Structure 1
Amino acid sequence: IVALIGSCAKKDEETAATAAADNTTSTDNTTSTTSYISTTTTASGSITMGDDTLSGVYASECLTSASTIAFFKATGFWASEVNAYGQVFVVTGSDNISIELYAFTDTSCSNLSLSQKTVSDNVTVGSASGSNYPVTYNNQTQALTVHTTAAETALETLYSNALDFIVGTPIELPVSGSGLKYGLWTLSGTTWYEASSSSATPTSAGTVPHVKQ
């Protein structure tokens, strides 16, 4: 499987997973419940943002935006069973983060369909414009874990059966292209907002709140 991963990257510079993640991290914040998405990733270290410090785990609520879910399904990245999703960002070092996206079969975000964890490093924070900080970072690897047979079938179809997904077992894929990302981060107390792009620093801050856990 490892030998095949490099040849399975989708379309130009990004996998469907990366493209979908870029589409959902900035503005779509229709929520279903007030529960927050959880992660098994361990937080460590901190990232300085001016006079503020970003550390620990920041999680969104359970999100149910129909347009975002439709986008993910259209890419083939999510199975038709998905009805909700959520995001988690974990600071794992002085210039390292884990960017995580979870898809669920139910609107209370209790039953996982697919999870994606992107390991990123070289986080560099620029000078603030108001409360917004421009950042750059490099996505290194993505670990995809299917939690249902429907998710397994969807991803195996997406990757033309070149990858053999097994329910509950993560598969690690390298990020195609340079992996360089541009972000705009805002920290307000214990709530963090972010927007991201593959081409340039976003001009508007994200609106999905990620609350420190």
Structure 2
Amino acid sequence: MADENAEETYDNFEKQAADQAANLVEQLLAALPEPETRNKPDGGLNPVEAARRQPAPQPGFDGTIASFAVNHDVLVPGLYLSRQDGDIATYDLRLVKPNQGGYFSMAAGHSLEHLLATWLRSSAYGRQVVYVGPMGCRTGFYILLRGMKQAAAVSLIREALQAAAAYNGAVPGTASTAECGHVAEHDPAGARQLAETAAALLKDWTAADLVYPA
């Protein structure tokens, strides 16, 4: 009998607590101001919710990606921050002024890619190197680094170029066809010249210079 009374008392207490909680929620909701939704295309949704309800982007060729939005008419050789995706920064190492001729050869760019990738990945920051590769337009390179301050990234890239300019050995990764997809297409001397020119250009470059020219 005592157990039944205790159970009934507990049930009553639980019901009262639930009723009180429901009343409190109603009071809080009633105290909130009504959202002003008129004349708003998103119905007054907060930005996160509004973005969530947007249709997912579809793959295609109509949009303009960030790198194509850079004004290549005013772009000059240098080092720029192309984009930031989380902790990964994409650096634009521009070696040639766009659309003015003087593009580096595929062979020289290929060799410089091997030199920069090898030096950067074997440096103390090797684990933070995501990608190193030439642009298809043959005016520069993209270098992706993870979790590095901009000043440190500028110094690292400058040191890599200086090392490549001073290197006179065989291009890494060209000992056999097993190491490279086009082992016959290399120009070590051309790569050294590119590196020397770029290293001189970045001699006094700082993080403040990473902004694209307007």
Give the TM-score, by structure 2 length.
0.25
- Structure with larger Rg: 2
Which protein is richer in strand relative to its size?
A: 1
Give the TM-score, by structure 1 length.
0.25
Which protein is richer in helix relative to its size?
A: 2
